[in-house]
């Protein structure tokens, strides 16, 4: 990143949603990317901050229909 940098950051990571979806920066002096974003794993279904057995159980109970599509993505 150049010392002075302006632009719009749109974070993305598979299976995560971000709040905000993007944010504009002007004359960025330091590496601030990421500090203002809240990343939420869309598979953290019981919202305990991690992917664990509870989430897998919810997936298996609600979305698995005989294929493994829900878990393979
Ligand atoms: Ca969880």
Of residues 17 and 3, the one with the higher pLDDT is: 17
Could you read off the pLDDT of 10-68 as tens digits, one per residue? Answer: 767 777 777 776 766 666 666 655 556 667 777 788 888 888 888 888 888 877 665 55
How many angstroms separate the CA atoms of 58 and 46, rounded? 8
Domain boundaries defined on the chain:
1-42, 43-73
How far is ligand 1, taken at its centre, from the CA of residue 26, in Å? 36
Check residue 50 and give its pLDDT. Answer: 81
Q: How far is the CA of 20 from the centre of ligand 1 (A)?
A: 21
Banded pLDDT at 8 (limits 50, 70, 90): confident
Centre of ligand 1 from the C-alpha of residue 6, in Å: 36
Q: Which residues of 31-70 are buried (b: 16+ CB within 10 A; e: fewer)?
A: eeeeeebeeebeebbeeeeeeeeebeeeeeeeeeeeeeee
Q: How far is the CA of 49 from the centre of ligand 1 (A)?
A: 6
Distance 16 CA to ligand 1 centre (A): 13
Q: Is the pTM of this model over 0.85?
A: no
């Amino acid at each position: 990143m150049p010392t002075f940098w302006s632009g719009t950051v749109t974070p993305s990571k598979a299976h995560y949603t971000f709040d905000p979806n993007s944010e504009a920066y002007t004359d960025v002096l330091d590496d601030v990317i990421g500090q203002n974003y809240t990343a939420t794993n869309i598979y953290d279904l019981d919202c305990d901050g991690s992917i664990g057995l509870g989430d897998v159980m919810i997936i298996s109970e609600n979305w698995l229909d005989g294929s493994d599509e829900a878990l393979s993505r």
